[in-house]
Chains A and B, each alone.
Chain A
Amino acid sequence: MREAEVGRLLAANLLRALAVVLTAVAPAFFLDGFSVLGTHLTWLCVCSVCVATLNIILHLVLRPNQSPKRRSFAHKISRFLKCCIYFFMSCILFHAIIVLYGAPLIELVTETFLFAVLLSTFTTLQCLCLLGPNIQAWIRVFSKNGAMSIWESSLQITSMCSILGAWFGAFPIPLDWDRPWQVWPISCSLGATFGYMAGLIIAPLWIHWNRKQLTYKSR
């Protein structure tokens, strides 16, 4: 059962990575003059939306955390609204943290905010899909031995890789190479994206290699 689940995880993650790659390539066929570097804002929007949609679809299809109880429709709606609010709040929070880290305060607000949205898509949205608007569960997942399934392990790894990628993405900005991708926030968003994709690939492999040590607490 474990092997099969890892396989499903791998497939889902590969699909997500493929979607990210497609967002960089595909829009060029529909939009004139589209390129990741040139029209970075467009790409940020496209990428966030696509990854978000795919994540939600995958969640609905795979249902990694089947809850036995059937909930009412109203409950579902309120849950959805809560999710939306949480997502928006995480965007704001990321924006604030990015600005506190040294991003320009007034100029390039759109860029910074869309970058925050991208980061939220890579991290918060997955949490929302997998765990729902349940902060306590989030806290548990992001602590040592907190993951209770391979899906949660994967969530841990991809989120951390995204953040780490964004952090490393800030490194080339001061260099005097005069490359187009050194402009804020391109290097950071690219770093986050590469980190996310790396996380997607690493997670199943890591789980596969450590399957002996990984003993998830049963619920």
Chain B
Amino acid sequence: MQRWPVVLFLAWVCLLFFAGIGLFMSGFLLTRIELASSSSCSDPVVPPLWERQSLPPGSCWAPQRFSKAVLIIIDALHFEFAHFDPAKTSPLPYENKLGVLHQLATSQPRHARLYRFRADPPTATMQRIKGLTTGSLPTFIDVGSNFASYAIQEDNLLAQLVQNGRRVVFMGDDTWEGLFPKKFFRSYFFPSFNVKDLHTVDDGILQHLYPTVDSGEWDLLIAHFLGVDHCGHKHGPNHPEMAKKLTQMNEMLRSLVDHLGNDTLLLVAGDHGMTETGDHGGDSEKEVNAALFVYSRTPLFGSGPPEEPETVPQVNLVPTVALLLGVPIPYSNIGEVMAELFAGDSDAVSAALEQLSVYHINAKQVYRFLQSYSLVAQDLPAEQLQHLQELFSSAVEEHTQLLTQVHGTTVPPELKPRLGSLIGRFQHYLREARAVCTQSWARFHPLRMVGGCILIASSCLLCYMASELAASSQSLCCSCLLYPLFWGPVGAALLWLVHVFTQEGLDLLLVSSWAAAASQLGFFWHWWGRHLKRARLTGSQPPLASGGLRQRLRAWLGLAFPMGILFFRCGAMFSDSFVVAEARVAPFLLASLVMLLVGKLHWDGHLTVPEGPKQQLLGVSSYRREIWYLLCLVAMLLVCVRLSSFFHQCREEIPQCRPSVFLSPLASLRNTRAKNFFYLLCVALLAGLVYAVQSWLRHYGNLNSSDPLVLFVRWGFPLVVLCIACYWAVASSVDDSLGRLQELVQVAVVVFPRAVYGLASMGLLLLLCNPMTVFAKDTRELAGSIVTPYLGVPGSEVDFLHVIPQIYKRMQESQKSRLERGSCRATVAAYGLGSVYSAALVIALTLLGFLLMLLHSERLSFAFLLLFVEAFVLLHIQTCARGLARDAELFSVPWYAVISWLLAASQFFYSTGHQPIFPAIHWNAAFVGFHLDHSMNLLPAVLVGANTFASHILFAVGCPLLLLWPFVCEMSNSQRKKAKKESQEELQEVEEHMMEMRLRESPEEFSTALLRLGLKYLFVLGAQLLACVCAAMILRRHLMVWKVFAPKFLFESLGFVVSSICLLLGISLVMRVDCAVSTWFSQLRLR
């Protein structure tokens, strides 16, 4: 197999996964762009006509009708809870408990009214609070200026009130604290996290509510009660506890009404409903059906209530409250005013005029928002926006026309029906606009989610099957692997043709997933065809059923133990507790996997010396000597795993957790002595890392040539370390202690990281241009001597080089045949040829390691050291285990090695101070080497991404080492053997030192082995991703979906993308080295 098909096929598999991820994401994660603009009093939204009619003081866009408002949010107040049906004789625990609402609505029909309050999905509390204050449809990701905190950046009701000098007082759920930092005039927050706790928040509010109301020092009072929601989560709605809770709310409202003044509007709202099990988060009827109750002591409504309570979308609350209180409507609002609240107790005509004016303001504001939104985002369909614009302009035109005929409040009678129809047209415009937004922002697409899931699952299956297929045969798999590549574009083209004929817009995502599905079908079709053919071929021969079956069974059992660990890992994704505790789950599973490996080796008797007759007699066995080596490695691994747990970041779900002290930068340390100590330790560690890498390379003879790359390793590495050390020194120094050097520091903070970036990219470029680290010693001129250090060439040169040369047998033979005429046994000694592939990877990994360490805070370099040590130990363990098990298949990497490699990768995701939640992202990384202003968004995204997925990057690039390491270690084994042997045999030994050149011996198998390794890696990654995706899809109604599962899914899929790309890069690097080795040999032959 050639090199290109391997890379191409792997890239194709990655693209399949990407298409699946994209399809799922488009159905699950709804995104929206937050606009930074905000409304203000002076905005030209108000028609010029209003300028004549001066607004009362304290009013902005419309005359203020209430000076105060109380907003009571009862979390998860389902409509059924608030509805009162006197006819019911035996109400359920949640029915007929809020009697006060019914009583007010029937005794004062023009003062009070109950509505159905339709929440927009996702019905999670935080998203609902955002919706209730911004008047928009918050999605899971509101792409805004700041990810680091949950604070609402968009214009909102509270910001408008504060901007206009009103006092907002809050009590209750502490989610608001994070959402509206420093917005409240006074606040009483109570912890909301413990769902089992029904009373803390409610009792806390009740303690402060009445005194605050009576004091009068507020303009908007918000009280957010959580008891009902928590009761739902804990017991479900149908429980006596719910009856108690609702009765408590009833009493609260009854006494609150008595405390209200005449100028106060009371709003009682539920942020969402709840399902029969008491949960919420999705978009089912029960979850979105909340209640809204409006009351004031002065008459609000022109007429009595309708028979059936009206349905009001949740976003309508914002413009209504804003205009009633006389403040501008928040910029991004897409709600429609509740017109009946503006009727007041005047006559029908002036009420209609009033309503018309608020509709006009509202429509202008929505129009303005849609205009500016469509400028920054393309997710609203253009033709619908066009349609909306037409609706709006025609309505406005008619409005101006109408107003010219109206004088004051006297309306000619023939205009009255036109007044009504105009209101209808504004209403129509607002509803259409909201529908357009809802369609693109607030709906799951179950079909797309399922499609994405299926695509990912079948890609996993494909990975597994292709890795098996590649093992079974090499010649045919090229056709089987490469045909599907053509199927994909064919499928996409077909879809495109269909679209051309039906004249529909083409969705790029749909096309790509269609192409992915088509090419997968192509693969499976070819595979099935081959399978049938082979079955026909083998059918003629006598079947080896029993032996084959037993062998297959044994193979399955062998697979069972690493796959079992993988199964546990995937299963853990389905529980929010396990996702929260994953930082401890991954190391646990890694330790278990390695221990199981040792246990299995022992159980199979690979660790004991084969029993001689003497041992059989005694019934005892003794260990081989390698076992101690293996046990030491395992112990080292366990220690590394345990130590790495000291670098964990915390999540808010575990309140008793304390974040690791190593996460904070050195600059935050007060104690100078400790700071200096840690600084020196970190620098020493970097120097140690360089020393270790250099001595490893020297040991294998890769540090002798005078190629630019080797020179870079010798001199560039220490230079990089020096730059990093200088940067750390500058960055961690206290700012004011330097005085006049401040400007110099400012420069240095930028220069040093840029120097590191430059040096590292130079190193990587050198690596790409000439990845050979081989030093060839051509001795063909020196007649009659074979230069190998083992023969002890006299002279200090060899000692000086301190290397082990690799003599490549075949090359030697070919040279011999050509040089036979001179009868001299000359040869070429190539130093470091046996580890040329690994050396390139090691150099690349070290450079990447430096870059990533630079992006983290100083003391996390300990974690990176642990990472390198652990990876090294893991490689040795798998080599040792394969050696002990006498694994004949050197070209196939066992599953346990791949799974442990990936477990280590996710372990170090946590051990480099990360967590799959947005507030835990290290945003500082974006400013390493760059000043605070980022003109473009790509660079900071790359820096933060590299910081977040550091361990994914390192382990994915290093993945080919899993294949190469047994070949590299081959030498040390044979060396040990050799020590015992006679010197005469040495020459033969030397000739067997082929190490990685064994891979070159059989290039077909080498390519296949790389392909299989990549496929296995992608399979394990894909299985984890699949578990995350399924968890997010199945548990989309779960309480924790937006807090735990959705961020986890996002991080996992991003991690997948990063890992797979880095895997491709790593494999390509090995291929590049292979190319270079080939050219090197051909040049040598030409010489």
Enumerate chain A interface residues (CB-CB to B < 8 A). Answer: 97, 99-102, 134, 136-137, 139-140, 142-144, 146, 148, 167, 170, 174-176, 178, 217, 219
A-B contact pairs, 26 of them (CB 8 A): A97-B638, A100-B638, A101-B642, A102-B588, A136-B620, A137-B620, A139-B608, A139-B620, A139-B621, A140-B619, A140-B620, A140-B621, A142-B602, A143-B602, A143-B604, A146-B605, A146-B621, A148-B619, A174-B577, A174-B581, A174-B585, A175-B577, A176-B577, A217-B616, A217-B619, A219-B619
Given contacts A143-B608, A174-B577, A174-B584, whether A137 and B602 have CB atoms under 8 Å apart is no
Identify B620's interface contact among A134, A144, A178, CB under 8 A.
A134
Chain A residues within an 8 Å CB radius of B621: 136, 139-140, 143, 146
* Bound: A43/B261 CA distance, A: 65
**Which residue of the partner chain, among B577, B603, B616, contacts A143 with CB atoms under 8 Å?**
B603
Q: Which residues of A contact B619 (CB under 8 A)?
A: 137, 140, 148, 217, 219
Contacts of B196 in A (CB 8 A): 178
Question: How would residues 645 to 662 of chain B score, 1 for a CB under 8 Å from any chain A CB and 0 otherwise?
Answer: 100000000000000000
Bin the interface of chain B by size: 20 to 34
* A97-B587 Cα distance, complex, nearest whole Å: 13
Residue contact A100 to B642, C-beta cutoff 8 Å: yes
CB-based contact A170/B620 at 8 Å:
no
Residues of B with C-beta under 8 A to A100: 591, 638-639, 641-642
**B1043 CB to closest chain A CB, in angstroms?**
13
CA distance A176 to B654 in the complex (A): 10
- Give bound CA distance, A217 to B588, whole Å: 38
Given contacts A136-B620, A174-B578, contact A102 B587 (CB under 8 A): yes
Find chain B residues with CB under 8 A from A167 CB.
592
Known A102-B591, A217-B619; further 11 A-B contacts with Cβ < 8 A: A100-B638, A101-B638, A102-B645, A136-B618, A142-B602, A143-B602, A144-B603, A170-B588, A174-B577, A174-B585, A219-B619
B residues lining the A interface (CB < 8 Å):
196, 575-578, 580-581, 584-585, 587-588, 591-592, 602-605, 607-608, 616, 618-623, 638-639, 641-642, 645
Contact B581 A143 (CB under 8 A): no
Q: When chains A and B are docked, how far (Å) is the Cα of A161 from the Cα of B886?
A: 29
- For B605, list chain A residues within 8 Å (CB): 143-144, 146
CA distance A36 to B619 in the complex (A): 41
Residues of A within 8 A of B638 (CB): 97, 100-101
| CB neighbours of B618 from chain A (8 A) | 136
In the assembled complex, the Cα of A61 lies from the Cα of B141 at a distance in Å of 71
Top 9 A-B residue pairs of the complex, sorted by shortest distance between their CB atoms: A174-B581, A136-B620, A100-B638, A175-B577, A140-B621, A176-B577, A143-B605, A100-B642, A174-B577
Instruction: Tell me the minimal C-beta distance from B560 to chain A in angstroms.
Output: 14
Please report the C-alpha to C-alpha distance between residue A42 and residue B500 in the assembled complex, in whole angstroms. Answer: 78
The reply to whether A175 and B575 contact each other, CB–CB distance below 8 Å, is yes
Residues of A within 8 A of B578 (CB): 174-175
Task: Tell me which residues across on chain B come within 8 A of A175, comparing CB atoms.
Answer: 575, 577-578
**Inter-chain contact A102/B602, CB cutoff 8 Å:** no
Interchain nearest-CB distance for A128 vs B (Å): 16
List residues of chain B with CB within 8 A of the CB of A136.
618, 620-622
Output the nearest chain A residue to B595 by Cβ-Cβ distance: A97
- Interface of A: prevailing SS: loop
Q: How far is the CA of A53 from the CA of B195 in the complex (A)?
A: 47
Task: Given the known inter-chain contacts A102-B588, A102-B645, please indicate yes or no for A142 contacting B623, CB distance below 8 A.
Answer: no
Contact B577 A144 (CB under 8 A): no
Contacts of B645 on A, CB cut-off 8 Å? 102
Chain B residues, CB < 8 A from A219: 619
Closest to A105 in B: B642
- Chain B residues, CB < 8 A from A143: 602-605, 608, 621
Query: Complex Cα distance A186/B604, Å?
Result: 33
Give the complex CA separation of A134 and B618 in angstroms.
12
Q: How far is the CB of A144 from chain B (nearest CB, A)?
A: 5
Alpha-carbon distance A174/B620, docked complex (angstroms)? 42
Quote the shortest CB–CB distance from A52 to chain B (angstroms).
25
The answer to whether A101 and B588 touch (CB under 8 A), given A143-B608, A144-B604, is yes
Most buried by B among A99, A142, A170, A174: A174
Cβ contacts under 8 Å, B592 to chain A: 101, 167
Q: A187 CB to closest chain B CB, in angstroms? A: 13
Q: Which residues of A contact B575 (CB under 8 A)?
A: 175
- Min CB gap A67→B, angstroms: 12
In the bound complex, CA of A98 to CA of B1043 (Å): 32
Task: Assess whether B584 is in contact with A139, with CB atoms less than 8 Å apart.
Answer: no
For B603, the chain A residues whose CB sits under 8 A away are: 142-144
The reply to whether A99 and B620 contact each other, CB–CB distance below 8 Å, is no
Beta-carbon nearest neighbor of A134 in chain B = B620
Chain B residue at minimal CB-CB distance from A178: B196
Given A97-B638, A100-B638, A139-B623, does the pair A174, B580 have CB atoms closer than 8 Å?
yes
Residues in B whose Cβ lies below 8 Å from that of A142: 602-603
Least CB distance from B610 to A in Å reads 12
How far does the Cβ of A130 sit from chain B's closest Cβ, in whole Å? 13
Chain A residues near B577 (CB-CB < 8 A) = 174-176
For A217, the chain B residues whose CB sits under 8 A away are: 616, 619
The CA-CA distance from A194 to B605 in the complex, in Å, is 29
A20 to B119, CA, bound (A): 56
Chain A, Cβ-Cβ closest to B582: A174
The smallest C-beta distance from B857 to any residue of chain A, in angstroms, reads: 24
Q: Which residues of B contact A102 (CB under 8 A)?
A: 584, 587-588, 591, 642, 645
Choose among B581, B591, B616, B622 the residue that contacts A139 (Cβ–Cβ < 8 A). Answer: B622
- B615 CB to nearest chain A CB (Å): 8
Closest to B646 in A: A105
Minimum CB–CB distance for B644 against chain A, Å: 11
- Chain A residue numbers with a CB within 8 Å of B580 are 174
A174 to B592, CA, bound (A): 17
Would B602 and A101 count as touching, CB distance under 8 A?
no
Which residue of chain B has its CB nearest to the CB of A173? B581
Of chain A, the residue at the smallest CB distance from B587 is A102
A144–B638 Cα distance when bound, in Å, is 26
A99's contact among B602, B607, B642, by CB below 8 Å, is which? B642
Q: Which residue of B lies closest to A101 (CB)?
A: B591
